[in-house]
Amino acid sequence: MTGVDLHTLTGAYVLDALDTDAERESVERHLAHCSACTHEVRELSETAARLGLAVAEPVTPALRAEVLRRIADVRQLPPVTVQSGRTLARLRGLRRLPRWALAASLAGTVTLAGFAGLQYQRAEEAGTRAARAEASAEAVAAVLAAPDARVSTARLADGAVGTLVHAPSLDRAVFAAAGMPAPPAGKVYQLWYDDAGTMRSAGLMASGTTSSTTLLEGSANRSAGIGITVEPEGGSPRPTSAPVATMAMPKA
């Protein structure tokens, strides 16, 4: 870090683009006593979150329908029909096969049919997931574009940055996190609304990534803020650990 002006590293710090942990630690020590850089980091974090979220653009209904049609379009083999003497001869030949060979042939046919059915089921599931992802992206975009959207950004534990967007007119909120450390094995981050001291589940954060955007579930208007806890996979009906981070709802 010798000869490097720490004032010039705020952008790389916000985007988690510093080369080493030593650089990140040096910037964080600098932020502890430099109010100008701290203010700049907050503004850059808010801008980066808005730009990262705003790229979600709903597809046209025609394109969505075409994609879902193709995903579910699994061609099946046509039924076997006896049309010639050669086909009859082949069928008679099957009758002369040993029972174990005939059973193996039938098992292979059943396996292929089952595989085709599994492919179709997976295609339908993929279509459902795509539809849900599209609906979530559209809802996130609506919150960000709301004329009364309020935004706040804060530094969380372990150097992570959180951005909370609340749109009172929609009664919805979006939370974006950058630089979140991975939760322990078998655990997930769960978001909670703080309803005057009562914690209400707001959904799970995406796992396997240090940066994520989450459309909070349920009403946001009656909450004073949010909290994040570490919970078992699948989430919990109520918090089982102390919050690793909290944020107040942004004010106008």
By residue range, what is the domain housing residue 13? 6-54
pLDDT computed for residue 67 by the predictor: 63
47 and 71 assigned to the same domain: no
The H-assigned helical ranges of 146-187 are none
Question: Residue 105: inside a domain, yes or no?
Answer: yes
Task: Order the strands of the 198-204 sheet from edge to edge.
Answer: 198-204, 187-195, 225-232, 245-248
Same domain? For 86 and 138 the reply is yes
User: In terms of domains, do 113 and 47 share one?
Assistant: no
Q: Are residues 182 and 238 in the same domain?
A: yes
- Supply the pLDDT for residue 158: 77
Same domain for 242 and 156, yes or no, is yes
Residues 132 and 181 in one domain: no
Question: Which one of 109, 144, 179 terminates a domain?
Answer: 144
Q: What is residue 73's DSSP assignment?
A: -
Q: What is the pLDDT of residue 200?
A: 95
Tell me: do 66 and 82 sit in the same domain. yes
Which of the listed residues 111, 144, 177 is the one where a domain comes to its end?
Answer: 144
Tell me how far apart the alpha carbons of residues 124 and 130 are, in angstroms, rounded to a whole number. 10
E-state strands within the chain: 150-155, 161-167, 172-178, 187-195, 198-204, 212-215, 225-232, 245-248
Rounded Cα gap, residues 104 and 114, in angstroms? 15
Chain CA centroid to CA 250, Å: 23
Tokens standing for residue 121: 């089921």
210 within some domain:
yes
Domain count, the chain: 3
72 within domain boundaries: yes
Number of other CB atoms surrounding residue 115 within 10 Å: 10
Say if residues 21 and 137 touch (Cβ distance below 8 Å).
no
Q: Among 202, 197, 199, which residue's Cα sits nearest to residue 235?
A: 202
Question: Which pLDDT value is given to residue 238?
Answer: 93
Per-block mean pLDDT, blocks of 10 residues, the chain (252 long): 66 72 83 83 71 57 65 51 49 49 52 53 59 74 87 84 91 89 91 93 85 90 94 93 92 78
Give Rg (Cα) of the chain. Answer: 27
Residue 1 included in any domain: no
In this structure, the answer to whether residues 27 and 109 fall within a common structural domain is no
